[in-house]
Amino acid sequence: FYSIDDFIKWFDYQKAIFDENVSIVESVKSINELAKFYFASDLTLLTGTKETFSMPVIESLLCGTPVVGYLCGGPETIAINEYSHFFENGNVVLLSQNMKKMLDEKIDKERISSIAKKRYSEKVMASEYRKIYDKITNGNFSKLHEIEI
């Protein structure tokens, strides 16, 4: 799939595979509304072909909702592996299998959220960015910027 429209066409064709409770949400009006959808969801599905840092992955995991999606750059590098499955783009069979696998597992939303809150806290994120900057500046970033984290 290379667009949400392609996925929707495939999804409509495959309805018998999925429960009647599946909803596709195309857009929301506020961060509070978005959080309600993440909390109420059993799974977040990412079907993009290219993604950088991927706030949807972090938002989903912070709300305790696991993620299934395509390998597209950023999400697979920042996700919590235990609660996220990524695979080659366009592979509908793996998409279906991983969705079913994740939905069949007993999900502890509080545990997922707790792990995500620790991993994506401001302090942890700042520390991780500092490590990256130090790596690309051969340690000079921390020497030049005496910032307490």
| Alpha-carbon distance values, 139 to 47, 59, 126, 129 (Å) | 37, 31, 15, 12
Q: Which two tokens stand for residue 17?
A: 């595979």
Q: Mean pLDDT, the chain, as a whole number?
A: 84
Lowest average pLDDT, out of 1-5, 15-19, 33-37, 69-73, goes to 15-19
Cα(60)–Cα(56) distance, rounded to whole angstroms? 6
What average pLDDT does the segment 11-21 reach? 63
| Alpha-carbon distance values, 145 to 3, 95, 128, 140 (Å) | 43, 45, 15, 8
pTM of the predicted protein model? 0.73
Residue 59's pLDDT band (cuts 50, 70, 90)? very high
- Model pLDDT for residues 102-121, shown as the tens digit of each residue: 989 889 999 999 999 999 88
| Alpha-carbon distance values, 105 to 43, 98, 100, 147 (Å) | 11, 11, 9, 43
pLDDT score of 13 more than 80: no
pLDDT of residue 109: 95
pLDDT score of 96 more than 90: no
pLDDT of residue 72: 87
